[in-house]
Structure 1
Amino acid sequence: MPDNFHIAFPWALTALPLPLLVYWILPSLHMRSAALLLPTYHKAVEYTGQKPRKSAFVKRRGFFSWLILMMIWCLLVAAMVNPQLVGQPEMKIKTSRSFLIVADISFSMAKDDWKIEGKKARRWDAVKDVMHDFIKKRKGDRMGLVFFGTNAYIQAPFTPDLETVDQMLEEADVGMAGQMTHVGKAINKGLEMFENDTIKSKVMLLLTDGIDAGDGVLPLDAADMARKDSVMIYTLGIGTPGHGGSDLDERTLQQIAEMTGGHYFLAKDEERLKEIYTELDKLEPMEYEEAQNKPITRLYPYPLGIALVIVLLSTLIAVLVSAIKVFRDRKETYV
């Protein structure tokens, strides 16, 4: 018997001896039947001086009849106990955090100094190409999207529907939020999304290739507010500082990460960006919890089906035997 075999209702086994108890305890069933009286019956009674008495005949079943009945009953009891094959509990991903991607889509992200499969591509297209895979792997998180340039706006609110988040990412393009780069506004917009969020673990991934424009909310002030709200920020710089006209402000991104307990990463190309997302998976691993419902295969239809087949076959055989007997009796009568 396999280790995963389980009986749901073992108490139903007490019904096994029930037919025997009924047979021994309850009296026989009395049924009236017609009797054939001879024309000289009353004269015979007067002549012999005997009084007519009631008579009973106990019909007895053959061995095979009893065997079939007991087999059917045992199979019915086997179905009642509800035998099952219980599988191992499946592990499911626990919704453990709200993960917000805050991405820079200012004009500088349109530079075609990156490559996708050996071909020149814009920075934003390369970022999207890698980010699609990253989003699909974060199945346990509620994810959201904020894009920023001159202004910051919400592209996708927090949702466990990662397909929708992925689609919203695909629809975004460079310049939709303006030409300038306002990192402080972007962080502030992200904090607004976290305000009404009930999940305690809050993570923000800030991605930019530029330097804050310097007006409005300053990046470090916004980072300080994030720290007070227990929001961890991972910062990701795009490009090569000091090369090709890049004005990436690495120092500010490093300070933002340090203030909020996150990490700073520098992505000079698509391959490095892929490595960074792998590192993020390790820093923010998926949390699993044991599923409450274990996979169960119910076996009761098998004994129930066998019992039904035996009933049908025994009934069919009884009808055939009866028909053959009637046919023989008629044949003998005519002969």
Structure 2
Amino acid sequence: MLPANFEIGYPWMFWLLPLPILLFFILPPLRIKSPSLQYPGFEKALDYTGDKPRRSALVKRRNFFNWLILILGWVLVVMTLSSPQLVGEPQMKVKTSRNFLITADISFSMAQKDWEVKGEKVRRWDAVKSLMHDFIEKRKGDRMGLVFFATNAYVQAPFTPDLGTVDQMLEEADVGMAGQMTHIGKAITKGIDMFDQDTIKTKVMLLLTDGVDAGTDVLPLDGADMAKQDSVIIYTIGIGNPGDSGSDLDEKTLQQIAEMTGGRYFLAKDAEQLQKIYQVVDTLEPIEYEEEEHRPVTLLYMYPLAVAMMLIFMGSLLNNLVSVIKNGMNKDGDV
């Protein structure tokens, strides 16, 4: 029984099956000259009998075995030309349909050692960075970029599908590289500039911060309004515990930014909560797949071709063997 994914690439080739029969009736027989016995009295014998000389030919008859080999060989050749194959299911590939920008706060407050990873106290930034590595790795299909901000905002990695490069650029960033203060509005506008320079319509920003905006230049809500007009969805993540005396986290502003742009606000008090937030974001912005036009094909033409060649070879070998045996028997009879 043939497998369900078996297909014939060129089924019209089977119209060639009756071709040898048509050629048998249409084409004249092949005539081969052979040496003959010269008889000196041939003309006299014709005059005496009154007969006229006629052309004659010896028609070699093929036995059933020869016909069977020829028929099977031709059928196998036609099968070879029809290109039998096993066709796999269409493969799914990741569809690049979204620019995903990570905008992270690297002000001095992110250097506080109040988070715990694997039983050890670490800086907030180190914990965020370690979890962000896993998040980036899972975003196959997205073109990702990085913007880091504090007093200033700068592009660490432009949008690229090379997630390995983005991950490496994340690893190279550290607290204090952009200054001491926290300017959320600058970070949002820097991200909008990056989106405007690209053609992909779906735009998502993940904004992480543990502080409050310094209140100069562009205000966070003004930046959020600009993002809304530019169809940028912003998910905001507040880092730290707003109940602690040393926390400057402005949850209200982060909530308003998310609501204005169609995103969501999350509070990450520790590394475990942040990991769960990344999982939720993965669910809210799932990786999209599309069906490839190419389907994996395994060609099978070599199998009927090999059998046909073996049949023809064996048939020729057996015919020669039979001829040798007959010639040997004839010689023995002559003796």
TM-score by length of 2: 0.91
Q: Which amino acid aligns with 1:165?
A: V
* Mapping 1:167-182, distance limit 5 Å: 167-182=168-183
Q: Which amino acid aligns with 1:284?
A: E
Q: Which amino acid aligns with 1:303?
A: P
* Mapping 1:1-335, distance limit 5 Å: 1-38=2-39, 41=42, 44-45=45-46, 48=49, 50-243=51-244, 245-322=246-323, 328=328, 332=332
CA shift in 2, pair 1:312/1:106, >3 Å: farther
CA shift in 2, pair 1:67/1:175, >3 Å: same
CA shift in 2, pair 1:18/1:123, >3 Å: same
Q: Distance in 2 between matches of 1:170 and 1:162?
A: 12
Shift of 1:84: 2.8
Q: Distance in 2 between matches of 1:195 and 1:79?
A: 55
Q: Distance in 1 between matches of 2:211 and 2:318?
A: 89
Q: Distance in 1 between matches of 2:60 and 2:117?
A: 90
Q: Which amino acid aligns with 1:298?
A: L
1:55-94, Cα deviation, whole Å (9 max, x unpaired)? 1111221111111111111111112222233333333332
1:199-218, Cα deviation, whole Å (9 max, x unpaired)? 21110000111122222222
SS at match of 1:233: strand
Q: Which amino acid aligns with 1:124?
A: W
SS at match of 2:15: helix
CA shift in 2, pair 1:321/1:264, >3 Å: same
CA shift in 2, pair 1:173/1:308, >3 Å: farther
Shift of 1:48: 4.9
Q: Distance in 2 between matches of 1:105 and 1:330?
A: 103
How many aligned residue pairs are there? 334
SS at match of 1:61: coil
1:135-155, Cα deviation, whole Å (9 max, x unpaired)? 121112111111112221111
CA shift in 2, pair 1:313/1:123, >3 Å: farther
TM-score by length of 1: 0.91
Could you list the runs of 4 or more consecutive aligned residues of structure 1 that deviate by over 3 angstroms after TM superposition?
38-52, 315-326, 328-335
SS at match of 1:64: helix
SS at match of 1:205: strand
CA shift in 2, pair 1:244/1:318, >3 Å: farther
Shift of 1:246: 1.8
1:87-144, Cα deviation, whole Å (9 max, x unpaired)? 3333333222111111112222122211221112121111111111111211121111
Name the stretch that deviates more: 203-212 or 312-321.
312-321
SS at match of 2:228: helix
Name the stretch that deviates more: 236-245 or 124-133.
236-245
CA shift in 2, pair 1:315/1:231, >3 Å: same
Q: Distance in 2 between matches of 1:192 and 1:29?
A: 83
Name the stretch that deviates more: 183-192 or 236-245.
236-245
Shift of 1:287: 2.4
Shift of 1:319: 4.5
SS at match of 1:297: strand
1:136-187, Cα deviation, whole Å (9 max, x unpaired)? 2111211111111222111111112222212221222222222222211111
Q: Distance in 2 between matches of 1:311 and 1:115?
A: 77
Structure 1 unmatched ranges of 5 or more: none
Q: Distance in 2 between matches of 1:158 and 1:16?
A: 58
